[in-house]
């Protein structure tokens, strides 16, 4: 049986994640409130942020930035694209 959630990003019931995708409270909030489709949207956005800002995700400063952007993407005002970003 598929687990569904009321997705905060899509605004509707959708298939939920199989497990928390991130450690701690934020990961649990995402697991409880974010669909698989919305998580895939975040992963694409996160990849763009990593590439545009030339982040190294193993660096604590970069991880902190990405965690904040993830929180904003799902539960805040949204995560903005870098100034001047032009998609391929």
Please list the pLDDT of the chain residue by residue as tens digits (88 residues).
789 999 999 999 999 999 999 999 999 999 999 999 999 999 999 999 999 999 999 999 999 999 999 999 999 987 777 777 667 6
Q: Residue 8 falls within a domain, yes or no?
A: yes
Q: Which pLDDT score is estimated for 88? A: 65
| DSSP string for 66-84 | HHHHHHHHHHSS-PPPPTT
How many domains does the chain fold into?
1
Identify the pLDDT of residue 77. Answer: 85
What CATH number should be reported for the domain holding residue 45?
Answer: 1.10.3880.10
In a domain, 81, yes or no: no
Rounded to the nearest angstrom, the gap between the alpha carbon of residue 8 and the centroid of all alpha carbons in its chain is 11
In a domain, 52, yes or no: yes
Is 24 domain-assigned? yes
**Spatial CA neighbour of 87 closest among 57, 36, 47:** 47
Q: Is residue 45 part of a domain?
A: yes
Expressed as residue numbers, the domain containing 37 is 4-75
């Amino acid at each position: 049986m598929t687990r569904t959630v009321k997705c905060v990003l899509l605004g509707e019931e959708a298939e939920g994640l199989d497990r928390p995708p991130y450690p701690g409270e934020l990961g649990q909030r995402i697991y409880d409130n974010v669909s698989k489709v919305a998580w895939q949207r975040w992963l694409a956005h996160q990849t763009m942020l990593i590439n545009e800002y030339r982040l190294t995700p193993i660096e604590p400063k970069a991880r902190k930035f990405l965690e904040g952007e993830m929180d904003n993407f799902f539960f805040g005002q949204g995560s903005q694209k870098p100034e001047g970003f032009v998609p391929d």
